[in-house]
Amino acid sequence: MSKDSTSKTSSPPDRAAAEAAVRTLLQWAGDDPTREGLVETPARVARAFEQWFAGYREDPLEFLERTFEEVEGYDEMVVLRDIRLESYCEHHLAPILGKIHIGYMPDKRVVGISKLARVADAYSKRLQIQEKLTSQIANCIDRVLQPKGVAVVIEAQHQCMTTRGVHKPGVMMVTSSMIGSFRQGSDTRREFLSFIGNPSSRDHS
């Protein structure tokens, strides 16, 4: 399968160029990149970026290719909740931290639950906005598994809001994407929300 449209389209600069860019930012911030405490920082940041943005080197669709049809007729909801979210805001490179909840209604095929978490991680480890991330995860599952319905809810705190700008800690952003039976059936949607603790009515203070 080909990678989705958010994947890289050109070759990135080499590591030396990336490290030079970090040194420039350190100097622009007002510090001396040659002092002892910072001399290895550009290399460390480059390595950290490889981990934080590993999703650009992964194809989430491939994680769902192996499915199972021997499910003894099981056609009820499958829910994976409280998946740890670690992503980065594409506007400020600030962390987005929270939880992802995924549910789907199988139509003959199911997938290993770890694969759902890997799909979430692959999209999370890219520069993101929460609304887009929510849709990407739901659309990927819907496209490959072709279930009766898919639901994705994300609860997250954005450090670009808590450490800069308006400086409002403790604010939780909740987004959802409902496809198929979750969008069409209010009972199905309520059941899913009850499984994950109904974030819209939760007190996050």
User: Is 140 assigned a catalytic role?
Assistant: no
User: Is 204 assigned a catalytic role?
Assistant: no
User: Is 50 assigned a catalytic role?
Assistant: no
Of 92, 146, 159, 191, the catalytic one is: 92
SS3 assignment, position 24 = helix
User: Is 90 assigned a catalytic role?
Assistant: yes
Of 91, 131, 184, 204, the catalytic one is: 91
How far apart CA 113 and CA 29 sit, in angstroms, is: 44
User: Is 89 assigned a catalytic role?
Assistant: yes
Of 62, 86, 146, 160, the catalytic one is: 160
Could you tell me which of 112, 98, 93 has the C-alpha nearest to residue 152?
98
Of 19, 101, 140, 158, the catalytic one is: 158
CB 151 within 8 A of CB 103: yes
Residue 14 CB neighbour total at 10 angstroms: 9
Of 19, 128, 130, 140, the catalytic one is: 130
What order do you get walking across the sheet with 127-128 strand by strand?
127-128, 78-89, 95-105, 149-158, 173-180
Of 62, 89, 146, 191, the catalytic one is: 89
Active site (catalytic) residues: 89-92, 130, 158, 160
